[in-house]
Amino acid sequence: MEHIISVLVENKPRVLARVASLFARRGYNIESLAVGPTQNPEISRITLVVTGNEHILEQITKQLYKLIEVIKVGDFTNTSFVDRELALIKVNAPSNLRGEIAQTAEIFRARIVDVDESSLIVEVTGTPDKIDALEQLLRKYGIIEMTRTGRIALARGSQSLS
């Protein structure tokens, strides 16, 4: 089962390496990973999407807590949360098809952020399903390259992890 785990860590060098190394050596699977600063400059937030059963998840949480620089670990499973992912998709866009592509993007509330004579870049934000769907639709034009961020998430309501 897929779990989104949010990890608050001290903003120090090599802390991401510690987390990644832990997953590698204990044989846990990471579907995606996103890391960035929080409102507190001393604390960063790592959002991990992992798969595993309850036992593995419990071990992942406990092993993460053993890392000295890990402050808090939260599992969003069984809670109400908002999660988002961002993708940039560069597609072939000859002038005769541009309108069609723009319309498709519009439906997904995606934006066109770069244009040249034969291609454009679409920026889309949302759940992984939504991004998958747009990607699928853009395939027929020929995707030149694309990149997706890892998923990030926050719990709904006024509660916070810290």
DSSP secondary structure, 45-67, as one string = EEEEEEE--HHHHHHHHHHHHHS
**Residue list 3-62, contact with other proteins (CB under 8 A):** 9-10, 13-14, 17-18, 21-22, 25, 55, 58-59, 62
Looking at the Cβ atoms of 25 and 136, the one nearer to other proteins is 25
- Residue 35 and residue 152: Cα distance in Å, rounded? 8
Site string for other proteins, 66-105 (x = CB under 8 A): xxxxxxx---------------------------------
Of 69 and 75, which CB lies nearer to other proteins in the complex structure?
A: 69
Of 2, 29, 65, 115, the residue at the interface with other proteins (CB under 8 A) is 65
Question: What angle in degrees, to the nearest 10, is found between the helix axes of 54-66 and 15-26?
Answer: 140
Q: Return the number of the residue (71 or 86) whose C-beta is nearest other proteins.
A: 71
Please list the residues that pair with 114 across neighbouring strands: 121
Q: Kindly state the smallest distance separating residue 24's Cβ from other proteins, in Å.
A: 9
- Could you list the beta-strand ranges (E) of 38-116: 43-51, 70-75, 81-92, 111-115
Smallest distance from the beta carbon of 130 to other proteins, in angstroms? 35
In sign, the C-alpha dihedral spanning 110, 114, 115, 120 is negative
| CB 34, min distance to other proteins, A | 20
- The Cα 132–Cα 54 span in angstroms is 27
Q: Which residues bind other proteins (CB under 8 A)?
A: 9-10, 13-14, 17-18, 21-22, 25, 55, 58-59, 62-63, 65-72
